[in-house]
Structure 1
Amino acid sequence: MYSAKEAVSANNISEQFISQMTIRYLTSRKLVFPTKSILDEERRINSWLGIGACGSITYGRARIGKTVCMNYVAESIRNQYGSREMVIIWNVTDHPETERNFYASILMAMGYECPRYSTALILKERVLNELILRAHETPFKKAVMFIDEAWKLREKDFYWLMDLYNNLSGKDIQLSVFMYGTRELKDLKHSFKLQGKDQIVGRFMINESQFFGIQDPKELQFCMASVDKLHVCMTDYEILSDGLVDFYFPYADGKTFFDISNDFWEAFQSVRIQKRIAAEDIPMKYFIDSLVICLNMHGKLGNSPIAFPTRKELESCVALSGYGESDDEYTK
């Protein structure tokens, strides 16, 4: 494994390039800190999947890490069942409420192109056949669908989803649908209940959970301990031997990110009080963004390099991250 110094010499690259690639990795979906909320969600989903539950809803504020959690759990299921194909991730976008669009969107989520002139019936058959094939990838005959931004689904979408479920059930295939979204997803369930849409609620929305960001100092300590294990990287995220502290703060005198966990927590609490933020948990996005700002500004290549961050610098980085600038931070 190269050190950063060796990589610069051997590959004709600069330390600035290594820093930029490292920051790119830190802000990519490849990096996941398995927080308590993520691990709790993984246990719940595995439990529901194990008993053949039809599905669930998971809701929470924006930017707290729901999509990262969803991808983490999806990968966990793929590894557990030994099949990548049995798990489909469908990112719902705004769409006209037509049967053809519904099936076309699922096909595209599976990685297929949708023939322009195919009818809804033909697309439905393709989706069913593909789900059956994928379910038979394991002896358990299960197909799993994760739906992100599920609050964008309309009433008819749920009835078409129910039709898929019934068709698969008739062939002894279990389809489980796990939906993720903001508070609007919870509101959608409530709306269906008020309208007496018990079939939809009973089939896909009985199980529910609320997702949170970093909830207490211990969780932040865990994240910071994980940061201490990270290394800088270069092209294609090739890992180098230098840790983040070694590279960005060479005069840290043995200090680690874990050592400043409490300062980081207090920095968030201070900004929270200043901005009068009601929500107590810290969205993962602002944790990552604050860390990246700190590395960029106060690391050895930054405009304001220091030996190692203190509470003062951390609070400034939290404020610069945009924490508290979104309206949904003012509701729990």
Structure 2
Amino acid sequence: MEEKIISNHNRPSIPIGGHPVETGDYIIDTIAINEILEPMRHWIQMRVPGGIIYGAPRLGKTRAIKYIQNTFDYKYPNQWLNLKIKTRKRKTPSEDAFFEFFLKDVGHDLYSQGKAVAKRNRLSNFLLDKGDQTIRKQIVLFIDDAQRLTDIEFEWLMDIYNELDSFGITLTTILIGQNELTHRRSTYLTTAKQIVGRFMVHEERFYGVREMDELSYMLSSYDEVTEFPVGSNCSYTNFFFPNGFNKGFRLENEAEYIWSSLLELRAENGINKKVEIPMHYLISIVNHVLLEYGANNVGNIDWPTKTLWKEAIKVSGFIHAEVLQS
């Protein structure tokens, strides 16, 4: 069966379901991302062995790191190697599993072969080879959900650091995780200073959206910075609401109403804590409007109404989550 194609005005023709908003494979620039990008760049330039990025769940830390990796790759090509691994929750730490998942996450084809010692050696050789190919002889390792790391796993990481260092390769490890990370750092300052010295020299908090201006900045990316397909000069806003976009409407200008609606719904539900909205919910709010009422759907309207934005806030689950956490 021939795949249905949507085409409207100067919109690029894209198979239904193929836009990044539909696949979920996109990252939006935010002020919070830029607030941690510069300190991280400085850690890398100064060859700091490690630092912490921490924050509450669902703030968008994982996507932020992907954005930062892409930015570093673009701005500093081959200066250093960016790698990312994700921790796995296990009842008992296993050296074999630790190095197998490490190898798998960095893209090694032989991640499952051999015993723990063989996997460790394979990983060391892989990192030495890759690090030696960079201009700065440096590897930046992002570890996601790092609050799951146990003491013995930090010891295994230290062994890797020391081996690379003995061959002139710098390993800068950036731990990304929940607030527990900074509490662990405080504990290690009295019980295991060597862990702090290797992996927790500096720390930065990652925030959600705290003010309307930050929301406006985020929404402006949909209007201007985003583009799909590459070279089409068609932003996400333009693609989903071409008629409204051509009339001069922009999502950035919806920020004041969306923000006031968020505050209003919080107040109605007795939520009094300080405002910090996770990116997970803001993306859900925007996605709901784009996908349900944009040009790729039967809802196809020129521009979203205030009623639709309020609907999107409610169906995102944000208010329910706030009530549960109050």
For residues 274-324 of structure 1, what are the alpha-carbon distances to aligned partners after superposition, in whole Å with 9 as ceiling and x for unaligned? 341624122112111111212334446657665533433312211111113
243 and 120 in structure 1: CA distance in 2 versus 1, 3 angstrom threshold: closer
Contact 2:44 2:172 in 1 (8 A): yes
2:65 maps to: 70
1:271 maps to: 265
1:21 maps to: 18
Q: Read off the aligned partner of 1:256 and give its amino acid letter.
A: R
Number of residue pairs matched?
319
Q: C-alpha separation between the residues in 1 aligned to 2:154 and 2:181?
A: 13
Residues 1:60 and 2:55 are matched in the alignment: yes
Residues 1:321 and 2:301 are matched in the alignment: no
For residues 46-97 of structure 1, what are the alpha-carbon distances to aligned partners after superposition, in whole Å with 9 as ceiling and x for unaligned? 1011111011111111221101111122223323442398221101111341
147 and 251 in structure 1: CA distance in 2 versus 1, 3 angstrom threshold: closer
When the two structures are superposed, what TM-score results if normalisation uses the length of structure 1? 0.83
60 and 160 in structure 1: CA distance in 2 versus 1, 3 angstrom threshold: same
1:4 maps to: 7
Q: Which of 218, 234, 239 is 1:223 aligned to?
A: 218
262 and 92 in structure 1: CA distance in 2 versus 1, 3 angstrom threshold: same
| 1:189 Cα deviation from its structure 2 partner | 2.4
Q: C-alpha separation between the residues in 2 aligned to 1:310 and 1:227?
A: 17
Q: Read off the aligned partner of 2:209 and give its amino acid letter.
A: I
When the two structures are superposed, what TM-score results if normalisation uses the length of structure 2? 0.84
Deviates further, 117-126 or 78-87: 78-87
Q: Read off the aligned partner of 1:64 and give its amino acid letter.
A: L
Find the residue that maps to 1:52 and give its secondary structure. coil
Q: Identity of paired residues, percent? A: 24
For residues 209-230 of structure 1, what are the alpha-carbon distances to aligned partners after superposition, in whole Å with 9 as ceiling and x for unaligned? 1101222222221222221237
Find the residue that maps to 1:57 and give its secondary structure. strand
1:209 maps to: 204
2:122 maps to: 126
Q: Which of 287, 291, 295 is 2:282 aligned to?
A: 287
For residues 171-219 of structure 1, what are the alpha-carbon distances to aligned partners after superposition, in whole Å with 9 as ceiling and x for unaligned? 121110001011232233234345x111112221121111012222222
2:237 maps to: 244
Deviates further, 275-284 or 151-160: 275-284
Q: Read off the aligned partner of 2:161 and give its amino acid letter.
A: Y
Contact 2:6 2:296 in 1 (8 A): no
Q: Give the alignment's Cα RMSD to 1 decimal.
A: 3.2
| 1:121 Cα deviation from its structure 2 partner | 1.9
240 and 155 in structure 1: CA distance in 2 versus 1, 3 angstrom threshold: same
What stretches of structure 2 of length at least 5 have no aligned partner?
Answer: none
Q: C-alpha separation between the residues in 2 aligned to 1:143 and 1:127?
A: 13
What stretches of structure 1 of length at least 5 have no aligned partner?
Answer: none
Equivalent residue runs for 1:160-175 within 5 Å: 160-175=156-171
Q: Which of 249, 252, 261 is 1:255 aligned to?
A: 249
Residues 1:100 and 2:96 are matched in the alignment: yes
6 and 300 in structure 1: CA distance in 2 versus 1, 3 angstrom threshold: closer
2:77 maps to: 82
Q: C-alpha separation between the residues in 2 aligned to 1:214 and 1:26?
A: 23
Deviates further, 161-170 or 75-84: 75-84
122 and 302 in structure 1: CA distance in 2 versus 1, 3 angstrom threshold: closer
2:41 maps to: 46
Deviates further, 259-268 or 301-310: 301-310
Contact 1:231 1:239 in 2 (8 A): no
Deviates further, 304-313 or 173-182: 304-313
